[in-house]
Chain A
Amino acid sequence: MSASPSPYLTQESEYNLSEDVVTKITEMAASFPEKNSALIPALHLIQDQFGWVPPPTIKQLAQLLKTTPNKIYGVLTFYTMFNLKPVGKYHIQICRNVSCSLLGAKHIIDYLTKKLHIQVGETTADGKFTLTLVECLGACGMAPVMMINDKYYENLDEKKVDQILKTLK
């Protein structure tokens, strides 16, 4: 049985870093005493551009920061905020930690899976929503909490979830 080729070796030109992202990464690299400190901020910028971190961008980033794709891959896969595959237009991340669980996180999770007809970790067929469970989001006093893309939604109940989803076109 031969090993399947790593998806991180594919090259697709549609995943070119935008000029703006390249400029910001270069600026970020200059603001730290060592270039490599710009790695995590750069991965955030790439994810902002594409919604995930497409493999071909790693090579481009390695050239910008004068490092190797392997080193970047090692960092990228350690941090849970980076998406290793595309996610829906709206990435819903629900906290499953203690404070949120005490106030009904499980109920909210079940409600969302039923409402969106997907399981945790899946994306809706129209590519609109991805549902992910995460650990503590640092909003325990406002539990239960979820994050959709960059925004926090706190003190959730079924009604509030309905209202929030309605605003997401």
Chain B
Amino acid sequence: MIQETKVLTRHENVSGMEEVENYIRDGGYEGLKKALTMLPQEIVEEVKKSFLRGRGGAGFPTGYKWSFLPKEKTKPHYLICNADEGEPGTFKDRVIMEHDPLLLIEGMTISGYAIQSELGVIYIRGEFKWIAEKLECAIDNARRANLLGKNIMGKGFDFDIVVMRGAGAYICGEETALIESIEGKRGQPRVKPPFPAGVGLYDCPTIINNVETLACIPIILQNDADAFKRMGSFQSAGTKLYGISGHVNKPGLYEYPFGTNLKYLIMQAAGGIRNGKKLKAVIPGGLSSPILKADEINLDMDFDSCVKANTMLGSGGIIVIDEDTPIPEVALTTVNFFVHESCGQCIPCREGLSKIQQILTALLDGKGQNGSIETMLKITQSVNGSTLCPMGDAAAMAIQSMITKFREEFDTLLK
């Protein structure tokens, strides 16, 4: 039996954590207190040492991302918290923000100090209005307690946070589309390089980290990098929030040591498959991650193990599918989503995905033609790798994996 390790969600069932006194009484702000006695570079080193990797999906080591900022500060540095949480299957950041907003705010303040920034922006998905309001309330409380604003804790460090709500565009979870959106533009990803650490928000050096990543920073600082590394697996340290949805008995958010086995999460933590049904498939890391068959779920849920299994840990949003569900229908829902959310900039993504949508719709309507499955696969191959942002690849790989792994279900539609 693997124990659930509640670190980031330890206040999930506690109310009033937006009040500074309550948060401090439970050990809050010890991380910032310690951080402000250190040099910014020492914090970057500690975070590097902790093996903390970005929780938004890419898994890039956070400390190394921070160290890509210019060595000489000639322009303002900005810190952006990516709270756009739009990846289907994902509902984790909202729990941190709703139940422990000051943990995120403390994490951002420490990170702001480490990267020498004076302004942080929390970009939260527009639908989470009540959560944005809670964050604003917590920010006001922190300001009143001199934990944000000028001369924080009397240590001469100035840092403030603004909350901005998006407006329903999935693509704004992509770093550079998010920056465009904060600048008041359409959320269309930029050409990279330059990367945001060099040229980001308002053309200034910018660091963008996910909510869950930033919430780990106070935990690392309170103790130390080694304590953080002891939770989790070799290359993926700390705990991970796994959101389990679909055909399980107990859907919900679970926090376990990084690298917990997928089969355990589904069959034990989430109580197994509903109504005594058999498992057919699992989408392990949000809809962008390639699907797994029932016999492929003996898998450690960390970044590297997932890559080895030809899928992605992504956001840790696990979607569980039972034996009664036709995969071609799941594939159509998937492609409908990506067509709807394509920003329209790159032709392979915009046109290629809508072509797949047309073919698959026809196939499910009983109007499939010989060769239409091959055509869909060919299109996924040409979309993959030919777009400015990872959305094209994600959509292509997700659909490709559904077709190849459940080919017989697609073939049946042609008969």
Q: Which residues of A contact B (CB under 8 A)?
A: 31-34, 36-41, 43-44, 65, 67, 74-75, 78-82, 96-99, 101-103, 134-143, 147, 150-152
Contacts and interface: CB of A to CB of B under 8 A. Distances in A.
Contacts of A151: 130
Nearest to B186: A78
Contact of B251 (A96, A98, A135, A141): A141
Contact of A99 (B76, B127, B167, B245): B245
A53 to B, nearest CB: 11
A82 B245 contact: no
A79 B287 CA distance: 21
Nearest to A155: B251
Contacts, number: 143
Contacts of B245: 99, 102, 140-141, 143
9 contacts: A31-B162, A43-B167, A44-B167, A79-B187, A80-B169, A81-B127, A81-B167, A135-B86, A140-B251
A41 B162 CA distance: 12
A37 B182 contact: yes
Interface string B214-249: 000000000000000000000000000001111100
B168 A80 contact: yes
B119 A41 contact: no
B128 interface: yes
Interface string B9-25: 00000000000000000
Contact of A138 (B90, B130, B182, B246): B90
B165 A41 contact: yes
A44 B76 contact: no
A26 to B, nearest CB: 15
Interface of B: 76, 85-91, 94, 119, 125-130, 162, 164-170, 181-187, 202, 243-247, 251-253, 283, 287, 317, 319, 321, 325, 329-330, 333-334, 336-337, 340-341, 343
B385 to A, nearest CB: 24
Nearest to A80: B168
B340 A135 contact: yes
B337 A102 contact: no
Contacts of A43: 167
B253 A141 contact: yes
Nearest to B85: A138
SS of A interface (majority): mixed
Contacts of B170: 135-136
Q: Lowest 7 CB-CB distances: which A-B pairs, in order? A: A39-B184, A79-B167, A81-B168, A36-B184, A140-B245, A99-B245, A80-B168
A36 B165 CA distance: 14
Contacts of B162: 31-32
A96 B88 CA distance: 10
Contacts of A37: 164, 182-184
Given A96-B333, A97-B337, 6 more contacts: A34-B202, A44-B167, A78-B343, A82-B168, A138-B91, A142-B251
B94 A98 contact: no
Contacts of B252: 141
A78 B89 contact: no
A39 B186 CA distance: 11
A97 B162 CA distance: 30
Contacts of A40: 164-167, 181, 184
B186 A141 contact: no
A67 B184 CA distance: 11
Contacts of B166: 40, 79, 81
A141 B321 contact: no
